[in-house]
């Protein structure tokens, strides 16, 4: 009696290709020889399901099968093949699980089986090497600007590190293929660097922005002028408006964290300072401005 491929997979004749694929995955997982060694019944079920899937997952073959032009083995109707599975693609099961762990060459279900069982047809594949974890300390300026540094790890290994702008304490940088080599021919592991950013005595980070205090001479604050300001990217000139006072905040555009899409800003809080508190002229001026004392 001829086998019904739809019954084998447990789907209806109107099933979609995706439904057929899901049914096959379920059947294959339940009967795969890797999960049921030395179980001939399961092996036969797996071969039968695989043969059914090969035909029903192919629109052309499925059409011919539905029209009766080919049989359940994929042979033209009336063709005297070897019978059973012997003449079909999955006839020689020993090619799959025989001595030496042989395998289907060019198996169209490779992606399905590899995804389900995490290996290629019963033979363990190359494994990735182990990841290595390190803790590194970087300068505040590097966390703002981004940088490329050669850093020596605790075990003496030197690594070329690309520090992205905006990295913060506690974040981890992954260096591909800089970990342990694989023992089975796979790719090396990665190096994972837990970052600690050193605090700055000059700047304080506020999201994408930076904040700092800038001392300004009294004369510059009164008359207006400019002062040199140190940013993580270098020194720049800051224009101080006439009549500025302590607490005035001026913005330096795009001088904050150097994110590629939108750099932050640097906010400078002015602090008025006396260049020489003992200056006689300054003391004379202050004395003239002081209120008269009453006896």
- pLDDT digit string, tens, across residues 230-275: 999 999 999 999 999 999 999 999 999 999 999 999 999 999 998 7
Beta bridge partners of residue 212, listed in sequence order: 268
pLDDT at 228 over 70: yes
Exposure on the CB side of residue 278, measured as CA atoms within 13 A: 0
Pairing of strands 191-197, 234-240: unpaired
DSSP one-letter string for 136-173: EEE-HHHHHH-EEEEEE-TTS-EEEEEEPTT--TT-EE
Q: Which CATH architecture has domain 132-197?
A: Sandwich (2.60)
Q: How far apart are the C-alpha atoms of 38 and 57, rounded to whole Å?
A: 29
| CA nearest to 143, candidates 259, 269, 267, 262 | 259
- pLDDT digit string, tens, across residues 31-75: 887 777 788 888 888 888 888 988 998 888 898 889 888 888 887
pLDDT at 82 over 60: no
Q: For position 199, what pLDDT does the model report?
A: 96
Q: How far apart are the C-alpha atoms of 5 and 275, rounded to whole Å?
A: 95
Matching CATH number, 204-273, of 3.20.20.70, 3.30.1330.40, 2.60.260.20, 3.10.20.520: 2.60.260.20
Beta bridge partners of residue 269, listed in sequence order: 213, 249
pLDDT at 113 over 70: no
Q: For position 97, what pLDDT does the model report?
A: 32
- H or E segment and range at residue 185: none
- CA angle centred on 153, ends 147 and 154, rounded to 5°: 150
Domain boundaries, the chain: 5-117, 132-197, 204-273
Average pLDDT over residues 70-82: 65
Of the two residues 264 and 284, the one the predictor is more confident about is: 264
- pLDDT digit string, tens, across residues 167-193: 999 999 999 999 999 888 889 999 999
Superfamily (CATH H level) for 5-117: DnaJ domain (1.10.287.110)
Identical fold, 132-197 and 204-273 = yes
Residue 196 banded pLDDT, cuts 50, 70, 90: very high
Kindly state the DSSP code that residue 273 receives in the 8-state scheme.
E
Mean residue pLDDT across the chain = 82
Residue 124 banded pLDDT, cuts 50, 70, 90: low
């Amino acid at each position: 009696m001829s086998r019904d491929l739809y019954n084998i997979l447990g789907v209806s004749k109107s099933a979609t290709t995706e439904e057929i694929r899901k049914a096959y995955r379920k059947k294959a997982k339940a009967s795969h020889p890797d999960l049921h060694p030395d179980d001939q019944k399961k092996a036969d079920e797996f071969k039968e399901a695989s043969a059914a899937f090969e035909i029903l997952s192919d629109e052309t073959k499925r059409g011919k099968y539905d029209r009766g032009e080919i049989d359940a083995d994929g042979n033209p109707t009336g063709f005297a093949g070897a019978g059973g599975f012997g003449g079909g693609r999955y006839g020689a099961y020993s090619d799959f699980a025989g001595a030496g762990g042989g395998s289907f060459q060019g198996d169209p279900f490779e992606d399905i089986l590899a995804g389900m069982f995490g290996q290629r047809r019963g033979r363990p594949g190359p494994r990735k090497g182990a990841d290595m974890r390190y803790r590194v300390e970087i300068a505040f300026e590097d966390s703002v600007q981004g940088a490329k540094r050669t850093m020596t790890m605790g075990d003496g290994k030197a690594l070329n590190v690309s520090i992205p702008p905006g990295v913060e304490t506690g974040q981890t940088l992954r260096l591909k293929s800089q970990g342990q080599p694989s023992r089975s021919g796979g790719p090396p592991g990665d190096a994972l660097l837990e970052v600690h950013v050193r605090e700055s005595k000059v700047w304080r980070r506020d999201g994408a922005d930076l904040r700092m205090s800038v001392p300004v001479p009294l004369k510059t604050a009164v008359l207006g002028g400019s002062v040199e300001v140190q940013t993580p990217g270098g020194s720049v000139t800051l224009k101080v408006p006439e009549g500025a006072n302590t607490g005035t905040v001026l913005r330096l555009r795009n001088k904050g964290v150097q994110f590629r899409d939108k750099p932050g800003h640097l906010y400078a809080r002015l602090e008025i300072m006396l260049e020489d508190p003992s200056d006689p002229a300054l003391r004379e001026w202050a004395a003239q401005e002081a209120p008269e004392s009453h006896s």
